[in-house]
Amino acid sequence: MTITAEQATWFAQTFSQLADNVERSVLGKRHVVELVLTAMLSDGHVLLEDVPGTGKTSVARALAQSVQGTNTRIQFTPDLLPGDITGITVYDQKVGTFEFHAGPIFANIVLADEINRASPKTQSALLEVMEEGHVTIDGVTRPVGVPFLVLATQNPIEQAGTYRLPEAQLDRFMMRTSLGYPDHAATVRILDGAAVATAELAPIITPQAMVGMADLAAAVYVDALVLDYIARIVDATRSADEVRLGVSIRGAIALTRASRTRAAAQGRTYVTPDDVKTLAVSVLSHRLILQPEAEFDGVTQEAVVGQVLLDVAPPSRREAV
């Protein structure tokens, strides 16, 4: 099935309405809001690296309100256990059976706050659910429902009491981005009370309709030359001098899926090289492991991906469409 022009137009209009609605609560962060929406519609998850107080919780709540979905917030701490996330089975003496008590992971949008403050054992509880959309507890597999988005926040690694996220877990995040501080104009509007409380946000779409949008995004056409472009970008990250471990095949798939969603959000039925270039840094940079010498010299993962995009020539617009 291929998405039609009419469906692409509807997708773009609905995507814009969702972004407008969320931005009413989180002023001046349109680009980040669109990235989070793109990840959600691409069956992905988002890692926000940010300082406290920049509106991360507001994004999660506003998005949940906009899609009429449920949202939960998990505060990660060093003593958090895997069962505190996924849920546990408890023996009911009256009935004589075990009863499952669902954890906070069972929601449409899960805000995993300060994820790198928990131990690796606890973080591993997210690996199955982020990849497959279900959890297995005492041998029983339980789906968490759709749509499903983990919006995790991470403190700077230099802060005390934090753990570096395992590479396998980082690879399960489709994108890494940062809200950052609002600009001066947005700050003034926030101080003046322009930001709308999430309780006042009107829903734009149902969770079932979001699933339908994701299906439409997956039907966007990707030309073989664009797929070749993505593959060449990924290959270039693996051979870069500053990189010890390049982008995995999961990263290449994530970039393809996200590019499809961005194309639909622009009202197109096909992916262009510009879609790939726009998303490449957010989708690929956190998957790189740099050489220690490069890190010591101040090289960043984002800079490496940016240089790769300069070095790898995209197909021409006429060829790729």
State what percent of residues in the chain have pLDDT above 90. Answer: 59
Residue 149's H or E segment, with its range, is strand 149-154
Radius of gyration of the chain (CA): 20
Q: Which residue has the higher pLDDT, 168 or 288?
A: 288
Cis peptide before 182 (omega within 30 of 0): no
pLDDT digits 0-9 by tens, 2-55: 899 999 999 999 999 999 999 888 888 899 999 999 999 999 999 988 777 777
Give pTM, 2 decimals: 0.90
C-alpha–C-alpha distance, residues 64 and 47, integer Å: 17
The values of phi and psi at residue 98, to 5°, are: -90, 135
Residue 152's H or E segment, with its range, is strand 149-154
The values of phi and psi at residue 46, to 5°, are: -125, 135
Name the band, by pLDDT with cuts 50, 70 and 90, for residue 157: low
Tell whether the model's pLDDT for residue 319 goes beyond 80: no
Residue 153's H or E segment, with its range, is strand 149-154
For 267, counting Cβ atoms within 10 Å of its Cβ (0-12 exposed, 13-18 middle, 19+ buried), the class is middle
pLDDT at 153: 87
Q: What is the mean pLDDT of residues 193-198?
A: 68
Contact between 38 and 261 (Cβ < 8 Å): yes
**For residue 196, what are its two tokens?**
């709308």
The values of phi and psi at residue 199, to 5°, are: -65, -20
CB neighbours of residue 33 within 10 Å: 23
Strand-pair partners of 111:
73, 151
Query: Alpha helix (H) ranges present in 80-223?
Result: 82-86, 120-123, 125-132, 167-170, 184-191, 207-218
Contacting residues for 104 by C-beta, under 8 A, at least 6 apart: 72, 73, 74, 85, 110
Name the band, by pLDDT with cuts 50, 70 and 90, for residue 178: confident
pLDDT at 49: 84
pLDDT digits 0-9 by tens, 121-134: 888 888 889 989 99
Tell whether the model's pLDDT for residue 213 goes beyond 60: yes
Q: What is the mean pLDDT of residues 178-190?
A: 82
The values of phi and psi at residue 209, to 5°, are: -70, -30
Name the band, by pLDDT with cuts 50, 70 and 90, for residue 199: low
Across the beta sheet with 149-154, the strand order is: 71-75, 109-113, 149-154, 46-49, 175-177
pLDDT digits 0-9 by tens, 46-77: 998 877 777 778 888 889 889 998 989 999 98
State what percent of residues in the chain have pLDDT above 70. Answer: 95
